[in-house]
């Protein structure tokens, strides 16, 4: 199998995406397209808010339309979504002993942890963020000796 490290043209990139779609049997697109779709979806619901009132109303959609700006902000600012989508991490399920499930900071450079109140009791610090949740560490499964 030939693996191309980096496509040399848009046509080659599109061909690689089509190959991935055939392999996974589902859409494969750049992350930016998915993010834009979420925002477009929430803007569409928000801008059609009046359509969810009255004879053909839809109470659930009206509630979503009412909080669409909050949804948009939450999507754009979500550290959890970033970890799930960009870092490919799993949902963390164990709360940090110190931060107890509450986000406590994101840093582009290693901060002085003690000055931020991040002590040895903290089990959520992953090198750039104190998410409040303990990172899931994948353990290597040794190859079978059979």
Residues that bind Zn ion (CB under 5 A): 96, 98-99, 122, 124, 130
For the bound state, the minimum distance from the C-beta of residue 132 to Zn ion, rounded and expressed in Å, comes to: 6
CB atoms inside a 10 Å sphere around CB 39:
14
For the bound state, the minimum distance from the C-beta of residue 72 to Zn ion, rounded and expressed in Å, comes to: 28
- The CA distance from 139 to 10, in Å, is 38
Calculate the alpha carbon distances from 61 to 2, 55, 70, 78 in Å. 48, 14, 14, 22
For the bound state, the minimum distance from the C-beta of residue 106 to Zn ion, rounded and expressed in Å, comes to: 13
Nearer to Zn ion, 65 or 130 (CB): 130
For the bound state, the minimum distance from the C-beta of residue 112 to Zn ion, rounded and expressed in Å, comes to: 15
The secondary element (H helix, E strand) that includes residue 129 is strand 129-130
Nearer to Zn ion, 12 or 94 (CB): 94
Is residue 75 within 8 A of residue 81, CB to CB? The reply is yes
Pull the structure tokens for residue 28: 């494969």
Nearer to Zn ion, 45 or 96 (CB): 96
Nearer to Zn ion, 71 or 122 (CB): 122
């Amino acid at each position: 199998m030939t693996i191309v490290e980096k496509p040399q043209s848009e046509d080659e990139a599109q061909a690689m995406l089509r190959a991935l779609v055939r392999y996974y049997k589902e859409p494969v697109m750049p992350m930016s397209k998915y993010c834009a779709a979420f925002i477009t979806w929430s803007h569409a619901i928000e801008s059609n808010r009046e359509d969810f009132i009255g004879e053909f109303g839809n109470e659930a959609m009206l509630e979503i339309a009412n909080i669409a700006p909050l949804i948009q902000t939450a999507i754009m600012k979500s550290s959890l979504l970033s970890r799930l989508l960009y870092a490919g991490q799993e949902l963390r399920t164990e709360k940090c002993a110190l931060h107890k499930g509450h986000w406590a900071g994101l840093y582009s450079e290693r901060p002085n942890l003690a000055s931020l109140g991040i002590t040895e009791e903290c089990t959520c610090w992953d090198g750039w963020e104190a998410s409040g949740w303990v990172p899931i560490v994948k353990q290597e499964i040794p190859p079978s000796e059979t």
